[in-house]
Amino acid sequence: MSCFSSADESAHYGFSVCMLLQHYRQQLNWAEEGVVELGTGDATAIADVVAGLPELRVRSFDISAPSVARARENIAARGVADRYTVELGDFFDGADSAGAPAVSTVIANPPYIPAPDRDILMPELWGGVYGNDLVLQLLKSGYRNVVVAVPSYSDPAGTVATAGDLGYRVANFLAMGLDYGPYSSEPKVREHIRAICAGGRGWAGDDEYMVAVALFTQDPDIPGDRSTQLLRALQLQV
Ligand SMILES: C[S@@+](CC[C@H](N)C(=O)[O-])C[C@H]1O[C@@H](n2cnc3c(N)ncnc32)[C@H](O)[C@@H]1O
């Protein structure tokens, strides 16, 4: 087992989470409640966010032991161990195992690599056949607000449709073009992404794709729905 490493993607995730948390500070109520996180990775992105937002507390989970070890070192080095905690284990067994979630907001750059099976470079990054299994599971977990990375090649329209069925709207998002990293470039994965896009369930170039970090919300105090704009932003045409 290894630790997820993709500097640009993690930076995009951290920056976007920071922007969305600050913009929707009152409604998300994170200064009171804190937030939970699925998938810590090496923790650098969110450790910097925690360092920059002194009232933020994050309870994070990762199934990869090397990631948790690396994360704890990085969190300690940034001096935020009292407000950014990491637990080894499946988020769905840990964070909301007691029934209704204790906090209203979950953040995640979840595993989203689409592949026919889990036998890929880092199996912990497998997101199911269309890549969006864990996002869908998160949306069904009862959180009022889900701040999550949505990649263009992992059936984003299916994700947005399921979110709508569950009463979520897309409040806002930040989108960025990314080059394929080692996980998307694996030949088996690359071929599978091509097939998904050819089948109309995603968009990607030969070496690039889009990732949006979106706030899905059920909160009536957050107005509007940018679902259409989100899908347009992900439609990379090459
Ligand atoms: C794409 S990485 C993101 C890491 C980090 N948040 C970042 O953006 O740099 C996804 C992480 O989720 C972890 N993971 C996968 N399934 C999980 C689960 N069910 N519960 C908790 N963590 C999980 C993986 O081990 C991996 O570290």
Mutate to test the pocket of ligand 1, among 16, 36, 58, 64 (most ligand atoms within 8 A of CB): 64
pLDDT at 126: 98
- Rounded to whole angstroms, the Cα distance separating 32 from 19 reads 18
Give the pLDDT band (50/70/90) at residue 4.
confident
Residue 99 has pLDDT above 90, yes or no: no
Mutate to test the pocket of ligand 1, among 12, 49, 91 (most ligand atoms within 8 A of CB): 91
Mutate to test the pocket of ligand 1, among 2, 35, 40 (most ligand atoms within 8 A of CB): 40
The 3-state DSSP class for residue 65 equals helix
- Rounded to whole angstroms, the Cα distance separating 166 from 161 reads 9
- Rounded to whole angstroms, the Cα distance separating 195 from 97 reads 36
Q: Whose CA is nearest to atom 15 of ligand 1?
A: 124
Strands 145-151 and 84-88, by their bridges, are unpaired
CB distance 117 to ligand 1 below 6 Å: no
Residue pLDDT, tens place only, 159-188: 999 999 999 999 999 999 999 999 999 999
- Rounded to whole angstroms, the Cα distance separating 234 from 33 reads 32
- Rounded to whole angstroms, the Cα distance separating 63 from 40 reads 9
CA dihedral 139, 226, 184, 148 (to 10 degrees): -40
Sketch out the chain's domains with CATH numbers. Answer: 7-233 (3.40.50.150)
Ligand 1 atom closest to the CA of 6, numbered from 1:
9
pLDDT at 152: 98
- If one compares 97 and 214, the residue with the highest pLDDT of the two is 214
Residue 237 has pLDDT above 90, yes or no: no
Please name the residue ranges forming H helices in 29-99.
30-33, 44-52, 65-77, 91-94
pLDDT at 96: 66
